[in-house]
Structure 1
Amino acid sequence: MYNNKKEIKMLDLMNVNGWAILVSSVVAFVIGGVWYNPKVFGQSWMDEHGHTLDSLGNPVKAMGLTFITSTITAWVIAVIASGLGVDTLMEGVQLGLLLGVGVMLATRYSDGLYNNQSTKLALIEGGYRAIYTLVVCIIIAVW
């Protein structure tokens, strides 16, 4: 007889590699520093928002909070990867593309539509998140 009851599996929120999470957070932060450098996408990002270097003010608070949010993101990815049994390079790439493009970039693009923001801005901001999510997934998977 077929039993269609599905067992509910709880994710283990603490069975993650803390070092991989910390390194992922640092790497995500570095990727952001390069991505938003004025010689890469930083100037275009400022132009799209109407910012100048002076109007941005002191970035210390934003950078500190961004490091915290990157750490939270890396931890959540580690929990998901652990729950799915993601532990190879290719599985990390697959998870990274699914989350990075399918969640981060797609939702950032959709948000921009409702805020009358350009596709260029959505691709700059969402692209950063997609790339760092991909890299974090790879680090978490192979560590």
Structure 2
Amino acid sequence: MEMNWIAILVAALSTLVVGFVWYHPKVFGTIWMKESGMNEEKMKGANMPLIFGISVIYAFLIGIVLQFLTIHQWGAYSMIGGNVTEALPSYKAFMADYGTTFRTFKHGALHGFLTGLLLVLPVIGTNSLYERRSFKYTLVTGGFWIVCFMIMGSIICGWV
């Protein structure tokens, strides 16, 4: 199996689009600013190209992991240690039968949703507890990542 670097990059870039909408003042931006203690003055001093660039790099790393979580065939590939030439005939038969099974946008969205809900939201929630952030902050930030993971999972899994 090969990594689909273009799909991962597009998925990573999708987080900027979602963030632009999600954190718009008419959506959740005003709530997020209040709950995070952010204000216009703090935002003006930020190096936004650097922040966006590093955000895309982080999202790219997330995309690599999402590829393993959304595409089941990676599990079979890992079972043979990644060496197709030494794989038993059963691996080749399995891949011939199931090589593109569940490779849909819908399936990727499902696994992205589950990963966001059951992995990312608890991590953000735990950090929010120790940082003394509100439950609204947890919901806004966690909701953003759940939506991002759904879209990223869709792109990565469905791009065959």
For the superposition of Structure 1 and Structure 2, which TM-score range results when normalised by the shorter chain? 0.7 to 0.9
Alignment of 1:40 with 2:27, yes or no, is yes
Q: How many angstroms apart in 2 are the aligned matches of 1:66 and 1:115? A: 21
Match of 1:140 in 2: 156
Alignment of 1:78 with 2:67, yes or no, is yes
Match of 1:108 in 2: 124
Matches within 5 A, 1:46-61: 46-56=33-43, 57-58=45-46, 59-61=48-50
Is the CA contact 1:87–1:141 (under 8 Å) kept in the aligned structure 2? yes
Which amino acid in 1 is paired with 2:32? Answer: W
Q: Paired residues, what number?
A: 130
Alignment of 1:31 with 2:34, yes or no, is no
- Residue 80 of structure 1 and its aligned partner are, at CA, apart by 3.1
Q: 1:63 aligns with which of 28, 35, 52?
A: 52
The alignment's TM-score, normalised by the length of structure 2, stands at: 0.74
CA 86–16 in structure 1, closer or farther in 2 if over 3 Å, else same: farther
User: Which has more radius of gyration?
Assistant: 2
CA RMSD across the alignment: 1.7
Is the CA contact 1:74–1:136 (under 8 Å) kept in the aligned structure 2? yes
Q: Deviations over 1:4-46 (max 9, x none)?
A: xxxxxxxx6xx21111111111111110111111221111111
CA 68–86 in structure 1, closer or farther in 2 if over 3 Å, else same: farther
Match of 1:9 in 2: none
The share of aligned pairs that are identical, in percent, is 30
- Residue 110 of structure 1 and its aligned partner are, at CA, apart by 1.9
- Residue 114 of structure 1 and its aligned partner are, at CA, apart by 1.9
The alignment's TM-score, normalised by the length of structure 1, stands at: 0.82
